Structure 1
Amino acid sequence: MNKEKFVIAPVAFLVSTVLVSYSAWAEDKNQSLFSDSSVMIVTAPVDSPLTISTSPKTPRQPVPASDGSDYLKTIPGFSQIRNGGTNGDPVFRGMFGSRLRILTNDSEMLGACPSRMDAPTSYISPENFDLLTMIKGPQSVLWGPGNSAGTIRFEREKPLFDKAGIKGNASVLTASNQRWDANADVSMGNEKGYLRLVSNKSRSNDYKDGNGNKVPSKWDKWNADVAIGWTPDEYTLLELTAGKGDGEARYAGRGMDGSQFKRESLGMRFEKTNIGTVLDKVEANIYYNYADHIMDNYSLRETSGTMGSGSGHMMGSGHGMMNMPMKMRVDRKTVGGRVMGTWMWTDYELRAGADMQTNTHRKESDNRWNKDAQFQDYGVFGELTWEVNDHDKVVTGARADRVLVDNDTNIGSSGRNTVMPAGFVRYEHALSNMPVMLYAGVGYTERFPDYWELFSPTYGPDGTTNVFDHLKTEKTTQLDIGAKYSNESINAWVSAYIGRVDDFILFRYNPHNVRQSQVENVNAMIMGGEMGVAYKLTDEWKADASLAYSWGENRSDRQPLPQMPPLETRFGLSWEKNDWTTTGLMRVVSSQHRVAINDGNVVGKDFSSSAGFTIFSVNTAYRVNDHMKLSAGVDNLFDKNYSEHLNLAGNSGFGYSSNQPVNEPGRTFWAKMNVTF
């Protein structure tokens, strides 16, 4: 009995006091329950159970985020297919790839690697943006086709000047494993216009896991962007943008490393608000994004043998042929734009417009570029909001897209030409006698197979080698429900979903040759949800907790859907007094035994079940003055040796076995200085 008390008492004390800082719910998109920006936020504020909004400049733990995917994984419902140090691939509710649209300044940056070594988020430095917005499920039609899991928007807002001046912020971070980050965001201008310069540099050596073993994971990357804006009055904006970036990264779980991640971006946007009594706003933008990616197995690791040709799709444990030096260069050019108007009446708001995108993928061979695919999409959309009364709202939308795809490697093929519909309707209700908001919405979307699904597999449905003509579009019908409760001391929310996915696109891998895969259409069912509560204990102590769960079933084969993250719970506690804050985080992840061995997606597959784990992290911050803040912390405080379920099998070139997951970092110290002016 005494032994039981010895075990239970500390746990009970921890749970009762560490209902911790994992969800800072928002009263608006820029203010959270943890209103002081010196407080370390561990999740995003929630405008509603359906929408998440936060500033990527807000401190988070675990930190630091090396790219967009690293940042997203701290939000309930998100996980990540891990590569090791950087450039993981984000997963939301177990859904991966183009089911999750990721936009930067309303443009899309598509990677070029056939196995998504350069996922779209690998080109994003979160601190270079002002606002992150996430819309769950197929509950919006404004931001492109096929967004069955959700839509993520990283945005830069226009700097506001009422007189000539300079303002901005900068940060420097140092951490274990010779990690070094520097970020700067500086704007200068007046009421008629501005010049904004944004840049970052990030590098790290290989990290060590909880057992002290080195994991190949080093990276070095940079980004630089400039924006020139003209604001002739407070209702008009014309902005031109340009940016470049590059980097390199090595991966314990791949047969090749990324020796080049060149990015070039150009954009222009126009906004005009307060136009008239009905037409309130017009906004338009065009963009050009270019990725030039090189992967090889000799720049960032040792190899032997002679030069040969290779494929970028070398996941997990390698084979003998990987001892030969190999290189592959690919690129992708993406051009697009959109125009949208907002019309307002007494009880109605209509947002409608059109968008388009074309992207071209090429491979280099014998110093010559060869185009292998071109995608074109033309869409029209409309979204209507009806304020029924003070308590009820109905939101509905529809869009139609025409998709044209040319396969230049498929001789004799005339390409594919498809029209895809999408739509949703949602009802929202605010109770009159208590601070509760409820919603329920049904959405449908159709998703065309993306480049990786059409061109990376070895075989298509029924074993055919002609994937291009035989892989069907994916159709998702999903019910989303949720509720939020909010008062002065408590914020609580829950969101849940259940969906049917017809012709779900699934990869199956040859267990004897990981480089061979077959892609198929199966029917699936998905369900799950997220929930959280934040509680202001006193003026100094604040606590919260969150839980996320995803479940999927392959109904065609009567087995689990692969690559489903396990149940995850986070608890935390935050103390704030005067200029000091301290925050703790306890992350509890369950084991995952619902697996489909050798099934997965273009990046990862289920190769074994996984064990659960618990990780503790702490940090403290001191506000020196109105312009400077110092913070420091420890991630994985107890140096736990663990690996995530969504993972890559280690590569044999680094001594891993074929079913050995890549372990996560052990104890990691970090310190950061933020300056605003």
Structure 2
Amino acid sequence: MKKFVTPGLISAGVLAWTAHPVQAQPPSVETLSPIVVTGVAPESPLQFSTNPRLPRLPLPASDGTDYLKTIPGFAAIRNGGSNGDPVLRGMFGSRLAILANGSAMPGACPGRMDAPTSYISPQSFDELNVIKGPQSVRWGPGASAGTVRFERKPPRFTGPDATLQASLLGGSWGRHAGNVDFTAGNAAYYARLTANQDRAQDYKDGNGQRVPSRWKKWNTDIAVGLTPDPDTVLELSAGTGDGYARYAGRGMDGTRFKRETLGLRFQKDMDQGLLRAIEAQLYYNYADHVMDNYELRPFKPGGGMSMPMASNVDRLTWGARLSADWALRADLTLTTGLDMQRSRHRKRSAMGSQDYRDQTRVKDAEFDHLGLFAETRWELSDRSRLIGGARLDKAGVKDWRTSLGSGMMSRPNPGAGQQRRETLPSGFLRWEHDLDSVPLSLYAGLGHVQRMPDYWELFSPRRGPQGSASAFLGIQPEKTTQLDIGAQYKSDTLTAWASAYAGHIQDYILFDYPQSGMAGAQARNVQARIMGAEVGADIRASQDWTLGATLAYAWGRNRSDGRPLPQMPPLDLRLSADYARGAWSAGGVWRLVAAQRRYARGQGNVVGYDFGPSAGFGTLSLYGGYQINRHLSLTAGVDNVFDKAYSEHLNLAGNSGFGFGAATRFNDPGRTVWLKAALSF
């Protein structure tokens, strides 16, 4: 296993150099450090990489969205205690590609109660990689905001050996979690088991008020691999998981989050010749989700539900990917490939004394796509390079619904049995240059992405453009053209970086909500502009101290309506200080968030909408760690040290079933204490 010496904590900038990703190298006993992630800086232009096993501030993450908030530019639409929906630079949903081991697992809930990241346990993965903006075509269609990849790396053994990584976490509000990762094998084969369980009770905010947020989840994954030589891997993997969660901001809770996955992948590297690497992958992902308004909460009529109700939705997704790396010349490399995916969505429901399990599942939607891509890197000189790529996607979707709405509100579906087909081109070109006189890198890239509307944009709205009965027939593909520029400076004592973007979105997909709230949303296309920036710096103030800061700002405008673009996170500043000497480490993060006065009341996306301005706030989180020996470390932390009552701007309105008033944000947790022990052999 590739080693990086880390004497203690690493902060935002230093993390980009020193985090120890699991590489395909012979494993060995790893010396743990009481490392806490206080932020993540770019590893290279537009590329962010970190080890999601590391504890971080605030409280160690419960799902993929929770961990992504560590990275500048990310925010989350909160549901309650867990399973929020990630937002990057104000962009939401399928504009952000989420991949786990190279495969997509879109959730099944029409309101994204089970967002793709809700099925991801960060500590079960070796690497988290993020590409901001439309600056790659290799990882699937439609990623106009960026691409997020949670990856497990195939281990390599030179002889019979085994490794073990485990952790235990305990904290306020009944939070406790356990994670185990065990790998054994030899030079010819390996087997790996990862498992985790994580749960928490309702939390209290800074005012001492209970916020409904109880949740539990577990995951188990196994993988077996053949390694006939050092350059070849054939791996078969399988996984399952389940859980529940109750939501302060929804009229129903999630009582099942069942996950089933199967995967087969092949990797082959070559040292010489034109073809340098080939990778092939097949995957099967199944999500079975149940939501109701009575199991995790006392039933109260309201929100259009006059009696107990349960809804069971499932989504089956299977796909494949094939890519090849080519060395055309010493200074010119090329990656080519294709990817395909098919997805089927079904639903069933029950009311009153009925049992949803006695009902027949009814298919309402089918999706498919086939994409071809090519991405090249041309070394213009020792210090300059061009990176570019293009892809073409053939996307299709079929509407199987015979009617729209339910009960007395049911009406014929004008799109019943119809199929839509779209041809969607995408591409980008980026220039990178390293200065000779100073350790400074510059980049500028222009990208264009055309994105097929997703399930939530075609099937969840009650109405389509101009009040039409079906969004399926009227919503057009979204087209994003964006310029990304930035710089990165690295020296022994200072890391500094800045990235900025400006984009035009043609046919941006917007949701309009009536005054009554989430029910009855209309989806339509508008013209939009976006821009923003993220900056950060880390200073090695002394041998023991590192100081850091990051700032993120996102802006958007709905040009069609002459209004701000909704669901934009406010200005977010994070200041960090980290101390490390010998076996001890300590530090903290002071987060300062500005008030958000730019909003579009009643507009948003399938999950949330703007219902007014939000106040600014500041919170302080502290941690301390001790390295007991080379195998065992302890880390403790306190989040929201001053027990402040605050809420995020991106926040579902609290549900009236829990006593929240109309358009009332629910608060984040108050003071939270946690302790984590990590073991490695």
What band does the TM-score fall into relative to the shorter chain? Answer: over 0.9
CA distance, structure 1, for counterparts of residue 90 and residue 675 of structure 2: 33
Mean alpha-carbon deviation: is it higher for 42-51 or for 70-79?
42-51
Once the two structures are superposed, what CA deviation does each residue of 1:192-232 show, in whole Å capped at 9, x if it has no partner? 11000000000100000000000000001100000001000
Q: In structure 2, what is the equivalent of residue 343 of structure 1?
A: 326
1:398 counterpart = 2:390: yes
1:521 counterpart = 2:525: yes
1:454 counterpart = 2:458: yes
Closer/same/farther in 2, CA of residues 256 and 595 from structure 1, 3 Å limit: same
Q: In structure 1, what is the equivalent of residue 409 of structure 2?
A: none
Once the two structures are superposed, what CA deviation does each residue of 1:127-178 show, in whole Å capped at 9, x if it has no partner? 0000000001000000011100000000000112111011020000000011
Pairs within 5 Å for 1:327-476: 327-344=310-327, 345-365=329-349, 367-409=359-401, 410=413, 412-476=416-480
1:648 counterpart = 2:652: yes
Shift of residue 512, structure 1, vs aligned partner:
2.4
Structure 2 counterpart of 1:586, which letter? W
Kindly indicate whether the alpha-carbon contact (under 8 Å) linking 1:205 and 1:217 is maintained by their aligned counterparts in 2: yes
Shift of residue 303, structure 1, vs aligned partner:
1.1
Structure 2 counterpart of 1:552, which letter? G
Q: In structure 1, what is the equivalent of residue 286 of structure 2?
A: 290
Once the two structures are superposed, what CA deviation does each residue of 1:240-275 show, in whole Å capped at 9, x if it has no partner? 000000000000110000000000000000000016
CA distance, structure 2, for counterparts of residue 463 and residue 23 of structure 1: 49
CA distance, structure 2, for counterparts of residue 468 and residue 256 of structure 1: 25
Partner secondary structure for residue 122 of structure 1: helix
Partner secondary structure for residue 617 of structure 1: strand
Kindly indicate whether the alpha-carbon contact (under 8 Å) linking 1:21 and 1:545 is maintained by their aligned counterparts in 2: no
1:182 counterpart = 2:178: yes
Partner secondary structure for residue 641 of structure 2: coil
Pairs within 5 Å for 1:179-578: 179-274=175-270, 276-303=272-299, 318-319=302-303, 321-344=304-327, 345-365=329-349, 367-409=359-401, 410=413, 412-578=416-582
Partner secondary structure for residue 198 of structure 2: strand
Kindly indicate whether the alpha-carbon contact (under 8 Å) linking 1:77 and 1:92 is maintained by their aligned counterparts in 2: yes
Closer/same/farther in 2, CA of residues 419 and 179 from structure 1, 3 Å limit: same
Q: In structure 2, what is the equivalent of residue 150 of structure 1?
A: 146
Q: In structure 2, what is the equivalent of residue 628 of structure 1?
A: 632
Partner secondary structure for residue 248 of structure 1: strand
Structure 2 counterpart of 1:380, which letter? L
Kindly indicate whether the alpha-carbon contact (under 8 Å) linking 2:495 and 2:539 is maintained by their aligned counterparts in 1: yes
Closer/same/farther in 2, CA of residues 425 and 185 from structure 1, 3 Å limit: same
Q: In structure 2, what is the equivalent of residue 97 of structure 1?
A: 93
Of 587, 593, 607, 1:589 maps to 593
Structure 1 counterpart of 2:373, which letter? F
Structure 1 counterpart of 2:334, which letter? L
Partner secondary structure for residue 653 of structure 1: helix
Kindly indicate whether the alpha-carbon contact (under 8 Å) linking 2:21 and 2:126 is maintained by their aligned counterparts in 1: no
Kindly indicate whether the alpha-carbon contact (under 8 Å) linking 2:63 and 2:120 is maintained by their aligned counterparts in 1: yes
CA distance, structure 2, for counterparts of residue 630 and residue 148 of structure 1: 40
Structure 2 counterpart of 1:374, which letter? E
Structure 2 counterpart of 1:547, which letter? L
Kindly indicate whether the alpha-carbon contact (under 8 Å) linking 2:72 and 2:534 is maintained by their aligned counterparts in 1: yes
CA distance, structure 1, for counterparts of residue 136 and residue 20 of structure 2: 22
Q: In structure 2, what is the equivalent of residue 27 of structure 1?
A: 17
Partner secondary structure for residue 169 of structure 1: strand
Structure 1 counterpart of 2:16, which letter? A
Kindly indicate whether the alpha-carbon contact (under 8 Å) linking 2:166 and 2:181 is maintained by their aligned counterparts in 1: yes
CA distance, structure 2, for counterparts of residue 251 and residue 23 of structure 1: 35
Structure 2 counterpart of 1:295, which letter? M
Structure 1 counterpart of 2:361, which letter? W
Structure 1 counterpart of 2:392, which letter? A
Kindly indicate whether the alpha-carbon contact (under 8 Å) linking 1:482 and 1:494 is maintained by their aligned counterparts in 2: yes
CA distance, structure 2, for counterparts of residue 37 and residue 274 of structure 1: 35
Q: In structure 2, what is the equivalent of residue 17 of structure 1?
A: none
Once the two structures are superposed, what CA deviation does each residue of 1:80-108 show, in whole Å capped at 9, x if it has no partner? 00011000000000000000000000000
Structure 1 counterpart of 2:340, which letter? M
Partner secondary structure for residue 368 of structure 1: coil
Mean alpha-carbon deviation: is it higher for 171-180 or for 36-45?
36-45
Kindly indicate whether the alpha-carbon contact (under 8 Å) linking 2:32 and 2:680 is maintained by their aligned counterparts in 1: no
CA distance, structure 2, for counterparts of residue 31 and residue 108 of structure 1: 22
Mean alpha-carbon deviation: is it higher for 486-495 or for 508-517?
508-517
Partner secondary structure for residue 67 of structure 2: helix
Q: In structure 2, what is the equivalent of residue 312 of structure 1?
A: none
CA distance, structure 2, for counterparts of residue 90 and residue 578 of structure 1: 37
Structure 2 counterpart of 1:522, which letter? V
Q: Percent identity?
A: 52
Structure 1 counterpart of 2:324, which letter? G
Kindly indicate whether the alpha-carbon contact (under 8 Å) linking 1:24 and 1:46 is maintained by their aligned counterparts in 2: no
Number of equivalences:
643
CA distance, structure 1, for counterparts of residue 40 and residue 55 of structure 2: 11
Of 71, 78, 85, 1:75 maps to 71
Structure 1 counterpart of 2:130, which letter? M
Structure 1 counterpart of 2:662, which letter? S
CA distance, structure 1, for counterparts of residue 271 and residue 396 of structure 2: 36
Kindly indicate whether the alpha-carbon contact (under 8 Å) linking 2:15 and 2:50 is maintained by their aligned counterparts in 1: no
CA distance, structure 2, for counterparts of residue 621 and residue 322 of structure 1: 49
Mean alpha-carbon deviation: is it higher for 225-234 or for 158-167?
158-167
Kindly indicate whether the alpha-carbon contact (under 8 Å) linking 1:22 and 1:585 is maintained by their aligned counterparts in 2: no
Shift of residue 43, structure 1, vs aligned partner:
1.5
CA distance, structure 2, for counterparts of residue 499 and residue 154 of structure 1: 27
> TM-score, length-normalised on structure 1?
0.93
Once the two structures are superposed, what CA deviation does each residue of 1:538-573 show, in whole Å capped at 9, x if it has no partner? 110111100000000000111100000000000011
CA distance, structure 1, for counterparts of residue 21 and residue 622 of structure 2: 23
CA distance, structure 2, for counterparts of residue 554 and residue 328 of structure 1: 34
Kindly indicate whether the alpha-carbon contact (under 8 Å) linking 1:638 and 1:667 is maintained by their aligned counterparts in 2: yes
Partner secondary structure for residue 103 of structure 2: coil
Once the two structures are superposed, what CA deviation does each residue of 1:371-408 show, in whole Å capped at 9, x if it has no partner? 10000000000001000110100001000000011111
Q: In structure 2, what is the equivalent of residue 310 of structure 1?
A: none
Structure 2 counterpart of 1:338, which letter? R
CA distance, structure 2, for counterparts of residue 184 and residue 303 of structure 1: 38
CA distance, structure 2, for counterparts of residue 326 and residue 573 of structure 1: 49
Kindly indicate whether the alpha-carbon contact (under 8 Å) linking 2:33 and 2:627 is maintained by their aligned counterparts in 1: no
Calculate the aligned-residue CA RMSD, in Å: 1.5
CA distance, structure 1, for counterparts of residue 513 and residue 300 of structure 2: 27
Shift of residue 28, structure 1, vs aligned partner:
6.8
Structure 1: state its 5+ residue gaps: 1-19, 306-317
Once the two structures are superposed, what CA deviation does each residue of 1:264-297 show, in whole Å capped at 9, x if it has no partner? 0000000000163210000010100000000001
Partner secondary structure for residue 458 of structure 2: helix
Once the two structures are superposed, what CA deviation does each residue of 1:300-352 show, in whole Å capped at 9, x if it has no partner? 001157xxxxxxxxxxxx53x43521100000000011000000121101000
Structure 2 counterpart of 1:26, which letter? A
CA distance, structure 1, for counterparts of residue 250 and residue 569 of structure 2: 21
CA distance, structure 1, for counterparts of residue 437 and residue 179 of structure 2: 47
